[in-house]
Amino acid sequence: MGVLHSIWIFLRKRRFQAVGNVDAVCPYCNNTLEKKPGRKKKCPSCNNFIYVRTRPKDGKKVLVTKDQTELLKEQWSIVNGTHAEFLENKRIIENERRFLAKKFGREPSENDIRWSLLNKELMTHANNANWGLYRNAKFQMAEILRAESKTSPALAIYLEVLYLDVNGPNNISGIRDRALLKEFPPFNEKDAFLAPGVLSKVVDLIQELNLDDKGTKAIFNEIAERNFSNLRLPVTPEQGWRKIKKELFT
């Protein structure tokens, strides 16, 4: 970045609105808090979630409302040179909100919107054979279900993520050339990796649901069989389960 750009950013920052409270004061009800929280916390007096963010204007840690987190996100995107993407993303979300409101006959939740967008993402990634991104979208969906305490469906999707992971998903970005595909296969066992973060979440959910390895395998098999035939995966559900079971139950 050049000097002119740095000056521009400096001037832009100065013009930013000073969002949030530097002091230990609730951004919703102005109640003075016992201590300035270090991360997301409920206000004891109004029960709203207080968010903790760094604001680009002066680099100070501030307490903000949910809406103000969006405002700061926008300010940061201006500083980071990604404002166009920020606006595009916002437009996509608002379109989806309107579409779902019509479909449901009520205002959709933030998770409804994210879920719907993730479903579209899945299709795009599958069409382009970007299986790493596809796997990440699946993971985000499992996270939404878990956050909504939908334990069983969350577990099923996390297990699906693990099954994709033992197959080593790659991003092919629409390559159709056969020779190239041989060199860069969409799934490659050699790229298999079981993420500790996913494994520990699965272990928690299994405990929550009081499942043993047989019960877990039944859920895994159903979803793995479908993926195995639809995505033509190199690792069979049986082989995959052997690897995953070792990580989950020993």
Determine, following the binding rule CB under 5 A, whether residue 43 of this chain makes contact with Zn ion: yes
**Which of residues 44 and 215 has its CB atom nearest to Zn ion in the complex?**
44
- CA 146 to CA 139: how far, in whole Å? 11
Among 19, 20, 21, 28, binds Zn ion (CB under 5 A): 28
Taking CB under 5 A as the binding criterion, the range among 42-50, 82-90, 102-110, 141-149 that sits at the site for Zn ion is: 42-50
Long-range contacts of 179-185 (CB under 8 A, 24+ apart): 185/234
Q: How far is the CB of 27 from Zn ion (least distance, A)?
A: 8
Taking CB under 5 A as the binding criterion, the range among 23-31, 91-99, 129-137, 147-155 that sits at the site for Zn ion is: 23-31
Residue spans of alpha helices (H) in the chain: 3-15, 66-80, 83-104, 110-127, 131-147, 151-166, 178-183, 196-208, 213-231, 237-249
Q: How far is the CB of 16 from Zn ion (least distance, A)?
A: 24
Determine, following the binding rule CB under 5 A, whether residue 26 of this chain makes contact with Zn ion: yes
**Of 159, 140, 170, 142, which is closest to residue 206 (Cα–Cα)?**
159
Determine, following the binding rule CB under 5 A, whether residue 46 of this chain makes contact with Zn ion: yes
Amino acid at 148: E
**# residues contacting Zn ion (CB under 5 A):** 7
**Which of residues 33 and 101 has its CB atom nearest to Zn ion in the complex?**
33
**Which of residues 47 and 230 has its CB atom nearest to Zn ion in the complex?**
47
- CA 75 to CA 17: how far, in whole Å? 9
**Which of residues 39 and 182 has its CB atom nearest to Zn ion in the complex?**
39
Determine, following the binding rule CB under 5 A, whether residue 29 of this chain makes contact with Zn ion: yes
Q: How far is the CB of 30 from Zn ion (least distance, A)?
A: 7
Q: How far is the CB of 52 from Zn ion (least distance, A)?
A: 14
**Which of residues 69 and 140 has its CB atom nearest to Zn ion in the complex?**
69
Q: How far is the CB of 72 from Zn ion (least distance, A)?
A: 19
Other CB atoms within a 10 A radius of the CB of residue 169 amount to 27
- CA 233 to CA 166: how far, in whole Å? 10
Determine, following the binding rule CB under 5 A, whether residue 64 of this chain makes contact with Zn ion: no
Whole-number Cα distances in Å, 6 to 2, 55, 78:
6, 17, 12
Binders of Zn ion in range 86-105 (CB under 5 A) = none
- CA 158 to CA 152: how far, in whole Å? 10
Other CB atoms within a 10 A radius of the CB of residue 121 amount to 19
Q: How far is the CB of 53 from Zn ion (least distance, A)?
A: 17
Residues that bind Zn ion (CB under 5 A): 26, 28-29, 31, 43, 45-46
